Structure 1
Amino acid sequence: MTIGTNIPRQFQSRLNVRRLALLLEIERNETLTAAAEALQYSPSAVSQQLKVLEQEAGLPLVERGGRQIQLTDAGRILARHAEEMIARLLSAEEHVRAVGRLGHGRLRLATFRSAGESLLVDAITYFRGHHPAIQISLVEGEPEQYIAALRRHELDLVLTYDYDWLSLPFNDGVVRDLICTDPFLVAVPRGFWRKSRPMRLADLSTQSWIASTPANAVHRFTERACAQVGFVPRIVMHTDDYHIAQELVARGMGVTFLPEISARNHHRGVEVHPVGDVTLARRIYATYRVGGERVAVVAAIRDVLIALGSER
C-alpha cells in the first residue's frame, strides 16, 4: 500500500509544507539567493522548488524585477496561510514534546532591560534551581524588536509592557498574562526637593527633562504624562538606558521618569519621588504564543514570573 493513496479526501492537499516555508523565506528576503542562504539550499534548488509550488497552487506566486523578487497577490495570500499552518505545526510539535515530566527541553526568553536585570533574573535563578536540565537562553531588546521572533517560533516567552496612554500594538496569535503593575516615580538630583509637602508633577514644569529616544516605542510617554497636568516638558536629552538617565540626573542635567522596578537600587546621586497629582504606571506581561500554556516549560516560567510579580 502506498502512503497517501488511502488518505481520506478531506485531508488531501497538493501543497507541500516545506515548499510553503520556502515561500515565506522568499517573502522575507526578497531575493532567491538570500532565501537559499537562509534555508541552506542552492539557488537552483530554491528556483526548482518554487516552480513546483506554483504548479501545485495553479497560479504564479512571484514576480521578478531585476535581482528583487516580490510575491503576487496569490503568493501573499498563500504566504499568510503558510505562516499560520507552520505555526500550528510547530505548536503541535511543542505540545507533544511537552507531554510528561518537566525533565528536559529548552526555554528561549527575551526581555527589555529594566525587567531583565531584576524580575527575569530572579525568575531564571529560581527556575534553574528547580529544573536544572532545562537549557535556558536569553536575549535583550525591546518588545517591538523581538515579538516577531516569538511569532516565528524562535522564542518561547518574552516580556512585554504597555504604558498609561501608550499601548504597543498587540499581535494576533499571542497571549499576554499580567505579571505586575510597575508605578512610575520621578528621579531628581539629591537634595533638589526640600519642601515639606509631597511632590507634584506640575512642580517640575520648568525643569529640563530626559526622555526615551524616538527609536523607542514609548518615547512620547514623558510628553503625554506631563500633558495630564497641563504642561509641555522641555526635553533636552534622550536615552533608553535608565542607568545613563540617572547619571545625567545626578549631574544636574535634568529630571526623568523612573519605573519603580528600576528605582529600588537607584543612583546614590539621585532621589526618587512619587507624584501626587497624577497616577503613572506601566504593566509588565509574560507574552507567548496561543496554546503556549500547554507547553510545560512555558507554563512553568510564566507561573514563576507571575508569582514573583505578585510579591513586588
Structure 2
Amino acid sequence: MGGLLAMLESREIQLALLWDYHWRRVDDPCLTVTHLIDDPTVLIVARDHRLAGRESVDITELTDENWITRADEHPVADVLARTCQAAGFRPTVSFHAHDYQEAQAMVSIGLGIALAPRPALTNLLSGIEAVSLRPSAPTRRILLARLTERRPTPAESAAEELFREVSRDIEKGYER
C-alpha cells in the first residue's frame, strides 16, 4: 500500500484502490477516501476435506487443522493469527504461499486449509471450496483514495463512479 500512497503523493497516479482492516485503518488527512465495499474473508478447503460442502463453519472447529498462509508477512497472515487468537487457539502453519493461486493449489491437494479475501477467489481452482466462517473473520474494507487537495478531474469522477458501480455489483454477488 505504501507504494500506491507514494504514487498519489507524487501525483504519478490520481486514484488508488486501497484496503484496510479495523486494526490498521487508512487514516490520512491528506487523503479523501471512499469506502467501496466490505470484503469478507472466507475459508478455503479441498473438496474432499471434512468441512467441504458446508455453508459455514465455526472457527473453533479448526483448532487441529494445518494452515497455508501468505508469505512475506502478508496481511492475511495477521488475519489468520487474529482470527484464531480470538477463538482461543494458535494456528499451525504448514506452508507459506506467495499468492492466492498458489495457496489454492496447495489446498486443492490437501496440504492444509487457508483464509482468503472473497475477490481473491474469483477464479476458484477446481478441487477446492470456499466456506463462510462463524463468527466471521476480520473483514477488510476496499477503498478508493485520492489526494484531498486535488479537485477530481472529469475522468477521475467517471472512474470513481465506475468503481462504485462495480462494487455494488460485487456486493450483490456476495448476497447470493
Query: Structure 1 196/284 Cα, relative in aligned 2: closer, same or farther at 3 Å?
Result: closer
Q: Do the aligned residues in 1 keep the contact of 2:46 with 2:52 (CA within 8 Å)?
A: no
Q: Secondary structure at the match of 2:57?
A: coil
- For residues 35-81 of structure 1, the C-alpha deviation after alignment (integer angstroms, 9 at most, x for no partner) is xxxxxxxxxxxxxxxxxxxxxxxxxxxxxxxxxxxxxxxxxxxxxxx
Q: 1:172 deviation in Å?
A: 3.6
1:289 aligns with 2:141: no
Of Structure 1 and Structure 2, the greater helix share is in 1
TM-aligned CA distance change 1:294 to 1:146, over 3 Å: closer
How many percent of aligned residue pairs carry the same amino acid?
21
Residues 168-179 of structure 1: matches in 2 within 5 Å? 168=25, 170-179=27-36
State the Cα distance separating 1:238 from its structure 2 match.
2.1
| Equivalent in the alignment of 2:38 | 181
SS of the residue corresponding to residue 280 of structure 1 reads coil
In structure 1, the partner of 2:10 is 152
Residues 1:294 and 1:264: Cα distance change in structure 2 (over 3 Å): closer
Structure 2 distance, partners of 1:196, 1:150, is 43
- Structure 2 equivalent of residue 210 of structure 1: 68
For the aligned residue pairs, the C-alpha RMSD in angstroms reads 2.1
Q: Which residue of 2 aligns with 1:303?
A: 161
Q: CA deviation at 1:274?
A: 0.3
Counterpart CA distance in 2 for 1:239 and 1:194 is 21
Q: 1: CA distance between counterparts of 2:55 and 2:33?
A: 39
Change (3 A) 1:158 1:297: same
Q: How does 1:23-172 map to 2 (within 5 A)?
A: 143-164=1-22, 166-168=23-25, 170-172=27-29
Change (3 A) 1:236 1:158: same
Q: Distance in 1 between matches of 2:150 and 2:34?
A: 11
Asked if the contact 1:149–1:155 (Cα under 8 Å) also holds between the matched residues in 2, the reply is yes
Please show how residues 265-276 of structure 1 align to structure 2 within 5 Å.
265-276=123-134
Does 1:246 pair with 2:110?
Answer: no
Structure 2 CA distance for aligned equivalents of residues 270 and 183 of structure 1: 18
TM-aligned CA deviation for residue 299 of structure 1: 1.5
Q: Secondary structure at the match of 2:61?
A: helix
Which position in structure 1 is the counterpart of 2:117?
259
Deviation, structure 1 residue 161: 0.2
Higher RCO by CA contacts (8 Å cutoff, separation 6 or greater): 2
The Cα shift of 1:201 comes to 1.3
Q: Partners of 2:5 and 2:75 in 1: how far apart?
A: 13
SS of the residue corresponding to residue 90 of structure 2 reads coil
Larger radius of gyration: 1
Q: Provide TM-score, normalisation by structure 2.
A: 0.85
Task: Identify unmatched segments of 5+ residues in structure 1.
Answer: 1-142
Once residues 153 and 55 of structure 2 are traced to their aligned partners in structure 1, the CA distance between those partners, rounded to angstroms, is 51
Q: Residues 229 and 278 of structure 1 are in contact (CA less than 8 Å); yes or no, is this contact kept in structure 2?
A: no
Greater share of residues in strand:
2
Report the AA paired with residue 269 of structure 1. G
Distance in 2 between the 1:186 and 1:293 partners? 41
Match in the other structure for 1:42: none
Map Cα deviations across residues 140-177 of structure 1 (whole Å, 9 max, x no partner). xxx1222111111111111100124x415533411210
Identify unmatched segments of 5+ residues in structure 2: 171-176
Deviation at 1:279, TM superposition (A): 4.4
Report if aligned partners of 1:178, 1:283 keep a CA contact under 8 Å in 2.
yes
Q: 1-side partners of 2:76 and 2:44: how far apart?
A: 18
Relative to the length of structure 1, the TM-score reads: 0.50
Q: Contact (CA 8 Å) 1:246, 1:267: kept in 2 or not?
A: yes
Give the superposition deviation at 1:189: 0.9
For residues 232 and 270 of structure 1, the distance between their equivalents in structure 2, rounded to whole angstroms, comes to 24
**Deviation for aligned residue 1:213:** 2.4
Per-residue CA deviation, residues 6-55 of structure 1 (Å, 9 max, x unaligned), is xxxxxxxxxxxxxxxxxxxxxxxxxxxxxxxxxxxxxxxxxxxxxxxxxx
> Structure 1 residues 191, 150: closer, same or farther in 2, change over 3 A?
same
